[in-house]
């Protein structure tokens, strides 16, 4: 069953689009970050042009992990939140580790979110699983997500395995299909 985006648009959730993930030599560097960023920007353009709701997640933590005082935790310039767009900081991988995020999500009706961004194997996975257990519906845009270098030699196989695992808790779709259908989302 498809629901038209014009009926009740889902929220575009841009996960952890932060400078840290694109900085070579950093512990959390994302290998295909430019590709995922380009796809996220396409989605942001679609949502912003249609005035649909956009939410930005920002990972912060203890200094040993993601120092909130560092400029590396800043959003990627092109994906920086605009006035009127929601922002939530989360200390643990799941966005639900933010009490503000939990309050917001529990107070909206018919929760449907489109997840894109960085930290596929942490933030996106943890948020999709936590949301599933709260009966929130998530859709992950497979070509608009990326993860840091895994401990294996085959990064593409690792990403594919993580996306497949998330498929147990969320719908998986490509950005091309999502944009082609003008944001229609499977429920």
Domain that holds residue 26: 2-186
Looking at residue 184, what is its pLDDT?
Answer: 56
Looking at residue 5, what is its pLDDT?
Answer: 47
Tens digits of residue pLDDT in 48-84 = 999 999 999 998 876 555 555 666 778 888 999 999 9
List, for the chain, all residue ranges whose pLDDT scores fall below the cut of 70.
1-8, 62-71, 149-152, 182-187
Contact 44, 12 (CB under 8 A): yes
Number of domains comprising the chain: 1
Q: Is 71 exposed, middle or buried (0-12, 13-18, 19+ CB in 10 A)?
A: exposed
CATH classification at residue 34: 3.40.50.850
pTM: 0.87
Whole-number Å distance between alpha carbons of 66 and 92: 10
Q: What angle do CA 79, 31, 57 make, to 5 degrees?
A: 35
Find the helix or strand (DSSP H, E) in which 41 lies: helix 33-49
Contact 147, 119 (CB under 8 A): yes
Contact 19, 68 (CB under 8 A): no
Structure tokens that stand for 19 in this block: 């400078």
Looking at residue 187, what is its pLDDT?
Answer: 43
Phi and psi based region of residue 139 (left: phi greater than 0; alpha: psi -120 to 50; beta: remaining): beta
Looking at residue 19, what is its pLDDT?
Answer: 83
Tens digits of residue pLDDT in 85-101 = 999 999 999 999 999 99
Looking at residue 58, what is its pLDDT?
Answer: 92
End-to-end CA distance of the chain: 6
Looking at residue 109, what is its pLDDT?
Answer: 79
Whole-number Å distance between alpha carbons of 123 and 115: 10
């Amino acid at each position: 069953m498809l629901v038209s985006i014009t009926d009740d648009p889902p929220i575009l959730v841009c996960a952890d689009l932060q400078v840290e993930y694109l900085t070579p030599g950093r512990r959390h560097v994302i290998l295909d970050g430019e590709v995922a960023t380009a796809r996220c920007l396409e989605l942001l353009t679609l949502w912003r042009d249609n005035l649909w709701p956009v939410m930005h997640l920002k990972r912060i933590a203890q200094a040993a992990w993601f120092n909130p005082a560092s400029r590396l935790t800043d959003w990627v310039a092109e994906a920086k939140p605009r006035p009127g767009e929601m922002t939530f900081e989360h200390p643990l991988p799941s966005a639900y580790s933010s009490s503000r995020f939990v309050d917001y999500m529990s107070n909206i009706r018919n929760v449907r979110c489109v997840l894109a961004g960085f930290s596929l194997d942490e933030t996106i996975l943890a948020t999709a699983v936590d949301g599933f257990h709260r009966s929130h519906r998530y859709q992950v845009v497979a070509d608009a997500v990326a993860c840091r270098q895994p401990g294996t030699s085959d990064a593409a196989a690792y990403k594919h395995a993580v996306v497949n695992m998330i498929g147990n808790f969320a719908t998986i779709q490509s950005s091309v299909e999502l944009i082609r259908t003008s944001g229609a989302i499977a429920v």
